[in-house]
Amino acid sequence: MDNIRMFIPETDIREKVSELGKQLEAEYYGKNLLFLLVLNGSFMFAADLVRAVPLMDTEIRCIRAKSYIGTQSSGEVEVMNNDVINFKGRHVLIIEDIIDTGRTLAALKKCILEQEPASVKICTLLDKPSRRVIDLVPDYCGFQIPDEFVVGYGLDYDEKYRQLPYIGIVE
């Protein structure tokens, strides 16, 4: 077991998710919103976020995107839309756990834009702006964090630690 240092406690996450929910309700009032979960990392954040907007008109779909091996970005992004989700004319909100280099979301956003959605926005729990190699700014962001490898609350280190209810740093 690696040593994991507490970084963002559960209570802070809960408060932030509730704030984000209020922003989404205001922005998408009266519209149908397609929540697009980027698996696997965003599952816990998304589960809490959708419960913060119980009265919104929503559809929840999942997609897979992978660019990481261990703690390193491989530089290549694979987007897997196995369910063939149709984005045309939809308001799409991509739900991501963390933005690092920006490659994953840039690739995903490009795929979606090709289908002429009504809008595409990005909601990420965490953002490491100092690591960006592609110009990409999230529309909604929980916390900006320094260049540290974090785990928990859905985020993994080689598929471990996703179950932690808080965000920690692997030491």
Using alpha carbons, list the distances in angstroms from residue 98 to 44, 57, 88, 156. 12, 25, 26, 11
How does DSSP classify residue 160?
A: B
Q: Which of 7, 36, 41, 77 binds Mg ion (CB under 5 A)?
A: 41
What are 2's two structure tokens? Answer: 């690696």
* Contacting range for ligand IMP; rule: CB under 6 A; set: 46-54, 82-90, 91-99, 114-122: 91-99
Position among 23, 67, 115, 119 found at the interface with ligand IMP (CB under 6 A): 67
Residue 46 CA to residue 78 CA, distance in Å, equals 21
User: Does the active-site annotation cover 158?
Assistant: no
- The string of DSSP codes covering 56-67 is SEEEEEEEEEEE
Which is nearer to ligand IMP, 30 or 147 (by Cβ)? 147
Count of residues in contact with ligand IMP, rule CB under 6 A: 17
Q: How far is CA 85 from the centre of its chain?
A: 18
Q: Footprint of Mg ion on residues 65-104 (CB under 5 A)?
A: 97
What is the set of active-site residues? 100
Binding interface with ligand IMP (CB under 6 A): 41, 67-68, 73, 96-104, 149-151, 155
Binding site for Mg ion (CB under 5 A): 41, 97
